[in-house]
Copies of this chain bind each other. A is one copy, B any other.
């Protein structure tokens, strides 16, 4: 057994106690009353990094919740790896569905229960501990490391684009390891080769200058809700394809080989439907459910409102009706370009007699893909095989992690997802937990991937 391995074993229970301490800090980034706790969590992380032997550790201001930076840069000639994670958490509502208070961690059956246990405090603490085990036993690391932990991931990292763009020298690296995320299933690792991008819009439809009586005026002018419904209905054809002109023009077609590889990822439709609680799946004709979720772009209405929403009846024709749209995008769609195409299409199909305004919303994320043969992926794959004894699945994700696109854009660095959460760990839900077995496997995995990356 390596010395670092022995170190991790010996300090096992101290690490769990430290994770507990970290989890006691209610660092909910979306709630202003917890802003101090988010900062306190950042300070805790900084202290813990210093204790591990990481250098130049500091809290840095972003204009919102702070980030924590630290590095160890003494591996001359070796690559520089940036490790990413976040120390903020989701809110705890509905708190009455928790078995114990969400910020009062308990260990049951080798799992630690608390808000943030899996997402992302347990996961982001792992590389710090791995680095400690190497520095305390060998006094050095196989590669150069930079740590970049943020406190606003759960609110969409509003200050991160500016921060990264203005700190490209500080953050410069050869690649990123993201300690935020997970594996496919217990005993089954996975490598994420792509994430969808995002753009957002809002439609505002105005009819009369004020709400008017639907008896007196009904039938004589265009009801803005009717107009909005017509617009939304026209955004997709009956085959589930987005009807916006040019929407698919730049979508990079997947090779037959890539599609075949996706098809090897197991997918149980009955299970998928039953988890969603729906009878029937529906989506773009000609693609599997996994393809619809991972490699095909979408346009979804996230919210709609206008007029009376109370109990009973109010006979009004509302002045205004609204809808929120987000599109998920795939290579090589450009979020700003697609946003413009959607806006133009809506203006084109807007019925007369109402004023239709399309607002382009600031949130954007570039679609992200990393080549399967990227050396970071191949290093991760070797570690997966070694620790799990099986080949990882090569997967994509339907969601967007804007930071991956930011690292690629500003640092020219690919991100490899290297984290150990599992899908059943109630992330963003009551009774979130993290497996202590994953916590330990993760620590060994991080040492091993740093060694693999040093070998090149």
Contact = CB atoms under 8 A, between A and B. Distances in A.
Interface string A293-318: 10011101111111111001111111
Contacts of A181: none
A99 interface: no
A152 to B, nearest CB: 14
A287 to B, nearest CB: 9
A208 B278 contact: yes
Given A305-B309, A324-B308, A361-B312, A218 B300 contact: yes
A230 interface: yes
B221 A283 contact: yes
Contacts of A232: 225-226, 229, 233
Contacts of A240: 219
Contacts of A326: 214, 218, 313, 315
Contacts of A353: 278-282
Given A276-B221, A328-B219, A361-B313, A318 B303 contact: yes
Identical chains bound together, number: 2
Nearest to A155: B312
A300 B277 contact: no
Nearest to A321: B304
A310 B297 CA distance: 24
A171 B272 CA distance: 63
A353 to B, nearest CB: 4
Contacts of A40: none
A215 B292 contact: no
A188 interface: no
Contacts of A214: 298, 300, 302, 326, 328
A316 B302 contact: yes
Nearest to A315: B326
A196 B215 contact: yes
Interface in A214-237: 214-223, 225-226, 228-236
A209 interface: yes
A380 B332 CA distance: 75
Nearest to A236: B226
A209 B240 CA distance: 21
A222 B317 contact: no
Nearest to A298: B219
A301 to B, nearest CB: 4
Given A219-B298, A298-B219, A305-B305, A323 B399 contact: no
Given A223-B301, A229-B301, A301-B229, A215 B399 contact: yes
A207 interface: yes
Nearest to A201: B313
B323 A198 contact: no
A29 to B, nearest CB: 14
Nearest to A401: B215
Interface string A342-371: 000000000111100000010100000000
A314 B304 CA distance: 12
A428 B175 CA distance: 66
A91 interface: no
25 contacts: A196-B215, A198-B215, A207-B278, A208-B276, A209-B277, A214-B328, A216-B293, A216-B397, A217-B276, A218-B398, A220-B281, A220-B293, A221-B282, A223-B301, A225-B232, A226-B236, A229-B230, A278-B354, A281-B353, A282-B351, A304-B304, A304-B321, A305-B309, A308-B324, A315-B326
Interface of A: 156, 196, 198, 200, 207-210, 212-223, 225-226, 228-236, 240, 272, 276-284, 289, 292-293, 296-298, 300-309, 312-318, 321-324, 326, 328, 351-354, 361, 363, 397-400
Given A220-B272, A222-B278, 18 more contacts: A207-B278, A208-B277, A208-B278, A212-B276, A217-B276, A218-B398, A219-B283, A219-B292, A219-B298, A219-B398, A221-B283, A226-B236, A229-B233, A300-B317, A302-B308, A302-B315, A303-B309, A309-B324
Q: Which 6 A-B pairs have the closest CB atoms?
A: A209-B277, A215-B399, A303-B307, A229-B232, A303-B308, A219-B298
